[in-house]
Structure 1
C-alpha cells in the first residue's frame, strides 16, 4: 500500500524523475480502452508505455510542448480498497481503487479506476513491473488528458 501511495504522491507532485525511478527497465504502464482487456499487445489502449514512452510522456508534461497539458492540471489521487492478490519472494501483485480528481481551466473532472500493480522485489526494494489502470467508464472516460493516470 505504501508504495502505491508513494507513486500517487509523486504523480500529483509532478515529480516525474522520481516517479520514473520506481519502475523496472522492462515495465509497462497500461491504460486499456476496454475495461476487461487482458491481451494488451493485441488490443487498443489509451497507453501501453515502456520505459522510453514513459520518459517521453513525462518530458511532454514538463516541457510545455503538449497542448493537452497546457495549462497544467492539478490532480489528487485517492487510493483505497487494497487487496493483495499474490505475494512471493520475488513478486507482489496488488489491486486497489483509484479516484483521480483533475482541476484545469476552471473545471473539475473525476475518473474512477481499478488499478493493478505487479511489483518486483530486488536489492533496492520494490519496483513497478506493470501497472494497469482500468477506467470504470472505459471508452467514455477520457477526453484529452494532460497528465499520467
Structure 2
C-alpha cells in the first residue's frame, strides 16, 4: 500500500511540474515577464551555458547565469523600450515536450525536457532547440523555480538574436 501512495504522489507531483513548465513557456511567449519573475525562488538561477557539458556554472562562461537580481535587471531592460531586445523584440512560440522525471522528493522535483522555440522578427523565423532542466521547489505548496538550465544544441556556435528569455 505504501508503494502505491508514493507512486501516486510522484505521478501527481510530476504532472504539477509539467503544468508549471508549460505555464512558464506561455508566460514567456506572451512576454509577461513580471509574472515570470514571480515563478522563481529568490535563490534560483537561470542558466544558458555555452559548454554543453558544464555543470559548475559559476566557474564557466555562460550566455546567462542570472540570480534574482540579474533576472530582474534583464526583465527591466527587456521592458524598458531602450534596448534593442525590447524595442524590436521577436515574437516567440515555444513547444516543450519529452518530459522525464530526474528526481523527486516532497520538496524538490527535477524534470528534463526538450524545447523548440520559433522566434519571428523582421520577416525572419529562427529556430532555437534546447534540452532543459527545471528544478522546481514544491516546499511552499506553490511550485517555484529553483534552477532552469537551457542547453542549446548549437551553444558552441556563434549565436545571435537571443534578445529574449529562453
Under TM normalisation by the shorter chain, which class is it? over 0.9
Matched, 1:122 2:139: yes
Partner SS state of residue 156, structure 2: helix
CA 1:62/1:140 → structure 2, altered by over 3 Å: closer, same or farther? same
Structure having the higher Rg: 2
Partner SS state of residue 26, structure 2: helix
Matches within 5 A, 1:94-133: 94-133=111-150
The equivalent position to 1:41 in structure 2, one of 58, 68, 77, is 58
The equivalent position to 1:79 in structure 2, one of 92, 96, 100, is 96
Kindly indicate which of the two structures has a greater share of residues assigned to strand: 1
Aligned residues: 149
Residues of 1 paired with 2:82 and 2:110: CA distance?
Answer: 35
Q: Which residue of 2 aligns with 1:15?
A: 32
Partner SS state of residue 18, structure 1: helix
**CA deviation after TM superposition for structure 1 residue 141, in Å:** 5.7
Alignment TM-score, normalising by the size of structure 2 = 0.86
Q: Deviations over 1:83-126 (max 9, x none)?
A: 01101111100000000010001111001000001011123411
Matched, 1:2 2:6: no
Structure 1: any 5+ residue segments left out of the alignment?
A: none
**CA deviation after TM superposition for structure 1 residue 143, in Å:** 0.7
Residues of 2 paired with 1:102 and 1:142: CA distance?
Answer: 13
User: Any conservation in 2 of the 1:28–1:48 contact (CA below 8 Å)?
Assistant: yes
Alignment TM-score, normalising by the size of structure 1 = 0.96
User: Any conservation in 2 of the 1:33–1:138 contact (CA below 8 Å)?
Assistant: yes
**CA deviation after TM superposition for structure 1 residue 142, in Å:** 2.1
Partner SS state of residue 138, structure 1: coil
Residues of 1 paired with 2:107 and 2:95: CA distance?
Answer: 27
Q: Pairwise CA RMSD of aligned residues? A: 1.1
